[in-house]
Structure 1
């Protein structure tokens, strides 16, 4: 499997992706908002884009579909419940489905509600898995739930799916928010030396060659995985005095998401 992360340099700080089969040269474009950059890179590499995968239905993820289909004839794949919100969708996906690219790339579909209720992530079936996670999981952060999602569902996605993936899983999110997310981590957990060290490295990183974290690293620097950390809980109680003496992980997650909304 070949992965190309494409920095759009737009106001939303989107990442687009091309996943290619090295044997056949077939490729899939993930959330190709900047269709021109995606097409140019595929042409440079000698790849044929045959599929478009939308992680969810928001405009900054499906906005390049029409032009991409016009240029390539690629089929559009997305969550089966998003068919009324993604024009021209060819294949609806559900949990456990497999998306194949060429002869050598298989990606498992995870049904990951929270940011929206029709959101999917793709997990590569490779020696080192890659998670293409749209707006569910960001480097050092979690998606918001403002436009068609729900924080309860996002918590369950984190707790019951993402946290259980292999520690070596590489994280490929839909946006570059890592520096600001690390600042939120340090606001919640000022003694997190891992987050402080990483912020120094990525604060002005070259987004054309952005850092790719692993799940193991995320569990050290992403507050939304650190729900039983004493400092996180103590700091949270300053903002929410009504928090129980021993809050559940879900209570901590929901209060963190609430704080992040206005932070």
Structure 2
């Protein structure tokens, strides 16, 4: 499997992705907002974009669909619940489906509601594995639920799906928010040495060659995976004095999401 992470350099800080089969050169474009860069990258590598996949229905993930389809006649894939939200979907996907690229690349579809209720992620059981997670999981953060989402569903996605993936899974998010998310981690966990060291490392990173984290690292630096951390819970009591002394993980997650919305 060949991966190109494409930095759009736009106000929303989007990442687009191309995944290609090394044997056939067929490629899948994930959330190709910057269609010009996606097409140019495919051409430079000698690849043919034959499929587009939208992780969810928001315009900053679907905006390049029509331009790429016009030039490549690619098939458009999306969550089966997004057919009436994304124009021109050729195939609706559900949990457990497989997306095949060329001869050698197969991706597993995860139904991952939360950011929206028709959001999917793609898991690649390669060596090492990879997760293309749209706006569900960010480096050191989690997607918001403002536009058609639900934080309780996002909690279930994190705890019942993402946390159970292999620790060496590489994380490929839909946006580059790492520095700001690490600052939120340190606001909640001032003693998180791993987050502190990583913030110093990525503060001046070039998003064209962005840091790629793993699930194991996310469990060290991402508050939304660290729901039992004593420092985090102590700080949470400062913000929410009526919180039970030992809040359950879901309550911690929901309160963190509430704080992050205002932070």
- The alignment's TM-score, normalised by the length of structure 2, stands at 1.00
Counterpart in the other structure of 1:240: 240
Q: Map 1:1-150 onto structure 2 (within 5 A).
A: 1-150=1-150
Q: Map 1:251-262 onto structure 2 (within 5 A).
A: 251-262=251-262
Residue deviations 1:199-246 (CA, integer Å, cap 9, x gap): 001011010000000000000000000000000000000000111111
**How far apart are residue 128 of structure 1 and its match?**
1.0
SS for the counterpart of 1:22 is coil
SS for the counterpart of 2:167 is coil
Give me the whole-angstrom Cα distance separating, in 2, the residues matched to 1:231 and 1:121: 31
Counterpart in the other structure of 1:192: 192
SS for the counterpart of 2:233 is helix
Aligned pair count? 263
- The alignment's TM-score, normalised by the length of structure 1, stands at 1.00
Give me the whole-angstrom Cα distance separating, in 2, the residues matched to 1:223 and 1:117: 22
**How far apart are residue 158 of structure 1 and its match?**
0.1
**How far apart are residue 32 of structure 1 and its match?**
0.1
**How far apart are residue 187 of structure 1 and its match?**
0.0
Give me the whole-angstrom Cα distance separating, in 1, the residues matched to 2:260 and 2:234: 16
Counterpart in the other structure of 1:159: 159
Give me the whole-angstrom Cα distance separating, in 1, the residues matched to 2:30 and 2:21: 14
Residue deviations 1:139-172 (CA, integer Å, cap 9, x gap): 0000000000000000000000000000000000
Is residue 2:209 matched to residue 1:209?
Answer: yes
Give me the whole-angstrom Cα distance separating, in 1, the residues matched to 2:164 and 2:129: 13
Is residue 2:217 matched to residue 1:225?
Answer: no
* Residue pair 1:105, 1:125 contacting (<8 A) in 2 also: no
SS for the counterpart of 2:36 is helix
Uncovered stretches (5+) of structure 1, i.e. residues with no partner: none
Give me the whole-angstrom Cα distance separating, in 1, the residues matched to 2:137 and 2:2: 21
Give me the whole-angstrom Cα distance separating, in 2, the residues matched to 1:53 and 1:120: 10
Residue deviations 1:39-73 (CA, integer Å, cap 9, x gap): 00000000000000000000000000000100100
Uncovered stretches (5+) of structure 2, i.e. residues with no partner: none
Residue deviations 1:95-136 (CA, integer Å, cap 9, x gap): 000000000000000000000000000000212110000000
Give me the whole-angstrom Cα distance separating, in 2, the residues matched to 1:125 and 1:200: 31
| CA-based RMSD | 0.4
